[in-house]
Amino acid sequence: PYVGPVENKNEAAMSELVPEPRQKPVVPMKPMGINANLLGYIGIDTIIEQMRKKTMKTGFDFNIMVVGQSGLGKSTLVNTLFKSQVSRKSSGWNREEKIPKTVEIKAIGHVIEEGGVKMKLTVIDTPGFGDQINNENCWEPIEKYINEQYEKFLKEEVNIARKKRIPDTRVHCCLYFISPTGHSLRPLDLEFMKHLSKVVNIIPVIAKADTMTLEEKTEFKQRVRKELEVNGIEFYPQKEFDEDLEDKTENDKIRQESMPFAVVGSDKEYQVNGKRVLGRKTPWGIIEVENLTHCEFALLRDFVIRTHLQDLKEVTHNIHYETYRAKRLNDNGGLPPMTVETEENHESNL
């Protein structure tokens, strides 16, 4: 029978409305294990050696900040940590220098080489923190400095002709020194960590732990952990950043047993049982800095340098810096919005 053009149109419209049946997604096959003996050695494992060579050539940056009241041994501990004279005080500090009236930021850069690996270490000191009668908002210059480093990195990153390797001045780790009172954290300690834990990796440290007995030390550590938990203060390593079960198990042990590290620092050597050791001499004997039965300095050093140094850098870049970057770009970040004019200029520059 004859069908008019109108009916043909309707049928065509109907056929367009009916969705085509969806194809089932292709499930990727499980990778098959290849018999290496049958096919011979490929050499994929050499990528680790290639990465090591590149890192050794370029070196890497590590920026550590020390915060705490004067007289808690911050400079001594940093010198002990890197077995070098890297602190502000050992770099031409004047003994007659007065306590600054406001918090100052002083950064000292060094290049340390060990086993062919170069590390550009920057120690950022904060003289004047917590030393005044009125310490209200004295963490603000520190927070400002940390954010300024993120801003500097962001500006370099959004440049059209940006550097192949952007200089990294971001603070990767902040050692916060707690006074060994044996009682509880001061309101200043809580306020500082509450504000700064959102922008930097904070590692709490009980300074001059040799002023407490073993029982006092254990009790004080537990009390500090409890206070940090009650006040909702996250210190490094943060629970939500554990990547897998192995990381979680290792970090849980650190969070529940080691934190905060009760440490003793010393850059003086003494002879003990025919061996040269770093320590502090007392009327009762020598406190060995690297002896775990005497203090937890070795645990702190292994944690910061030997097991978590790369992770500190990654958390700084992937979490703290990304948070700052997202916020700045969301608020238009003080960075000029892309207009037709700027686009044309960019194209002509390219």
C-alpha to C-alpha distance for 68 and 77, rounded to whole angstroms: 12
Residue 342 counted as domain residue: no
CATH number at residue 282: 3.40.50.300
Residue range of the domain that includes 63: 58-332
Identity of the amino acid at 21:
P
pLDDT in tens, the chain (350 residues): 555 555 555 555 555 555 555 565 555 665 665 555 556 788 888 998 888 888 777 888 899 999 988 888 888 888 888 877 777 665 555 555 566 666 788 888 888 888 888 888 899 988 878 877 778 888 889 999 999 999 999 998 888 888 888 889 999 999 999 998 878 888 888 999 998 999 999 999 998 888 888 888 889 999 999 999 999 998 888 888 877 888 888 888 888 888 899 988 887 888 888 888 888 888 888 888 887 888 888 889 899 988 899 999 999 999 999 999 999 988 865 555 444 444 455 455 44
C-alpha to C-alpha distance for 139 and 162, rounded to whole angstroms: 32
Strand pairing report for 275-282 and 106-114: unpaired
Classify the phi-psi angles of 130: left when phi > 0, otherwise alpha if psi is within -120 to 50, otherwise beta: left
**pLDDT for the residue numbered 211:** 86
**pLDDT for the residue numbered 60:** 86
Contacts of 235 (CB under 8 A, 6+ apart): 193, 197, 202, 203, 204, 228, 259, 260
Residue 177 counted as domain residue: yes
Whose CA is closest to 209, among 128, 135, 87, 299? Answer: 299
Contacts of 186 (CB under 8 A, 6+ apart): 179
> How far, CA to CA in Å, does 181 sit from each of 45, 77, 116, 185, 291?
52, 19, 42, 8, 23
DSSP state of 335: S
User: What spatial distance separates the first Cα and last Cα of the chain, rounded to whole Å?
Assistant: 67
Residue 314 counted as domain residue: yes
Residue 39 counted as domain residue: no
Report residue 331 CA to chain centroid gap: 25
Residue 207 counted as domain residue: yes
Tokens of 154: 């962001």
Residue 47 counted as domain residue: no
Report the number of distinct structural domains present in the chain. Answer: 1
DSSP state of 254: I
**pLDDT for the residue numbered 22:** 57
Alpha helices by DSSP H, listed for 100-139, are: none
Tokens of 319: 């979490």
Largest CA distance in the chain: 117
> What phi and psi, each to the nearest 5 degrees, are found at residue 342?
-65, -35
C-alpha to C-alpha distance for 175 and 206, rounded to whole angstroms: 10
DSSP run (H or E) holding 12: helix 5-17
C-alpha to C-alpha distance for 39 and 57, rounded to whole angstroms: 34
**pLDDT for the residue numbered 203:** 93
Report residue 176 CA to chain centroid gap: 13
C-alpha to C-alpha distance for 38 and 261, rounded to whole angstroms: 52
Whose CA is closest to 157, among 4, 2, 321, 45? Answer: 321
Tokens of 313: 């850098």
Residue 8 counted as domain residue: no
Residue 13 counted as domain residue: no
